[in-house]
Amino acid sequence: MTAVLVVNSGSSSFKYQLIEMDTETTLASGLVERIGELMGTSSHTVLETPITQATETVTVERELPIADHTAGFAVMLEAFRTHGPSLEAHAPVAVGHRVVHGGARFHEPTVITESVERDIDELSALAPLHNPGALQGITAAIAAFSAVPHVAIFDTAFHQTLPPEAFTYAINADLAERFRVRRYGFHGTSHGFVSRAGADFLGQPVDALNQIVLHLGNGGSVCAVRAGQSVETSMGMTPLEGLVMGTRSGDIDPGVLFHLHRRAGLDIDDLDQLLNRGSGLLGLTGHGDLRDVITAADSGDGPSQLAIDVYVHRLKGYVGSYYAQLGQVDVISFTAGVGENSALVRARALEGLEALGIRIDPERNEAKSRVARRISADDSAVTVLVIPTNEELEIARQTLATVL
């Protein structure tokens, strides 16, 4: 058996999965949260009978103070010892770490050395909310699993194929160069996974296809994939650009910021907070979760109805834009929480596009399922798919491929 441990660290939490790679089965997964607070929490879920690939799982939860990531890893190891599976019997051959920002430096999975750690640290300048947490997790994981290689998988890496005309902002070129201001794109692990899964679904090589991937979760981004390579994506230098998201505004005229600073007295931190945490669906309705917005809209709430209109309008605009950039489209795939579950968003994002060869079958779209499926009509020139994303599995695959 070959197992890989996948770790996704934030500043005060981390998620993990132990994946058995021969069958690609998640043996255990967990979450350690509120690190550094008075009281932390952990949960550990074990697949009861992995050998038979049963899907029965058991979850155990604890509350205890967790001082830092090192203490968090000790909690995780104890959960494995107490509730299984045994890390002796399923010793990971490598640990894969999700790292949000790899800047222009990292375009592939990278074995973590001290110099790679320094580079990730240095890239914190571009991702102050994300990279420092990842680094703390990496340091603690290396201490806990010192005998195996650790691999960094970057959210930005898949988009390193963006052409200059797609990644360049039209601002002063010297300033942009000095401060590394350009578009990097995010959700790359998911966009890569879903575009390959789309090709697999159709039984065609990924390099024969032009695809548009719509990753719609709490954060959301669109990616145009030509022959397996990202050629355009909606998030930019930071994950703020592009679609309307749970709490982020997405695209906005930068002039709005000057106006709110001058007229409303908001300073730079207020504006950061406003656009990243207080906008999007939350800003428009008071609800950051699309399910709540849909429920409120269904009961006649005007702002919620408008918020859905704005969300879908922006999404459809990106579909049209990326259709034009690609020239011809074979596949459009929906993924992540909203993309996998909301028939309403899928239908509305693509309605009225029959002239572009896009026709959804309403019955297929409404059917609920946890597996990849086609929702386009048989006479639709563009195949529309729903593909559950699995970023942890993709990280594990890339980790294993890097260390083999």
Q: Which of 121, 155, 269, 378 is catalytic?
A: 155
With binding defined as CB under 6 A, does residue 336 bind ligand ADP?
yes
219 binds ligand ADP, rule: CB under 6 A: yes
Nearer to ligand ADP, 294 or 377 (CB): 294
CB of 286 to ligand ADP, least distance (A): 14
Minimum CB separation from ligand ADP for residue 165, in Å?
A: 29
Question: Of 29, 189, 210, 342, which one interacts with ligand ADP (CB under 6 A)?
Answer: 342
Chain mean position to CA 246: 13
Per CB under 6 A, the list member of 205, 291, 320, 351 interacting with ligand ADP is 291
The verdict on 289 binding ligand ADP (CB under 6 A) reads yes
267 counts as catalytic: no
Nearest CB to ligand ADP, comparing residues 249 and 342: 342
- Binding-site string for ligand ADP from residue 246 to residue 265, where x marks contact by CB under 6 A and - marks none: x-------------------
Kindly determine how many residues on this chain lie close enough to bind ligand ADP according to the rule CB under 6 A. 13
Q: Are 33 and 13 in contact (CB under 8 A)?
A: yes
Token pair 């809209």 is found at 297
User: Closer to ligand ADP at the Cβ: 291 or 313?
Assistant: 291
The three-class DSSP label of residue 277 is helix
Nearest residue to ligand ADP, scored by beta-carbon proximity = 337
What track of x and - describes contact with ligand ADP for positions 178 through 217 (by CB under 6 A)? ---------------------------------------x
Residues 267, 258: Cα–Cα separation, whole Å:
10
Beta bridge partners of residue 59, listed in sequence order: 45
- In angstroms, what is the minimal distance from the CB of 374 to ligand ADP? 19
Query: Is 338 an interacting residue with respect to ligand ADP (CB under 6 A)?
Result: yes
Give min distance, CB of 355 to ligand ADP, in A. Answer: 28
Torsion sign across C-alpha atoms 68, 36, 336, 125: negative
SS3 label, residue 164: helix
The DSSP element (H or E) to which 32 belongs, if any, is: strand 25-33
Q: Is 103 an interacting residue with respect to ligand ADP (CB under 6 A)? A: no
| DSSP symbols for 208-243 | G-EEEEEEESSSEEEEEEETTEEEEES--SSTTSSS
One-character DSSP codes across 331-396: EEEEEHHHHHH-HHHHHHHHTT-GGGT--B-HHHHH---SS-EE-B-TT-SSEEEE----HHHHHH
Which residue number, 10 or 50, has a Cβ lying nearer to ligand ADP?
Answer: 10
What sign does the CA torsion over 163, 230, 232, 274 have? Answer: negative
Report the residue from 290, 312, 358, 393 that binds ligand ADP according to the rule CB under 6 A: 290
337 binds ligand ADP (CB under 6 A): yes
Instruction: Report DSSP state, residue 206.
Output: G
Question: Tokens 């320094």 map to which residue?
Answer: 118
- Residue-by-residue DSSP string for 72-108: HHHHHHHHHHHHS--TTTT-EEEEEEEES--TTT--S
**218 lines the binding site for ligand ADP (CB under 6 A):** yes
Site of interaction with ligand ADP (CB under 6 A): 217-219, 246, 289-291, 294, 336-338, 341-342
Active-site positions read 155
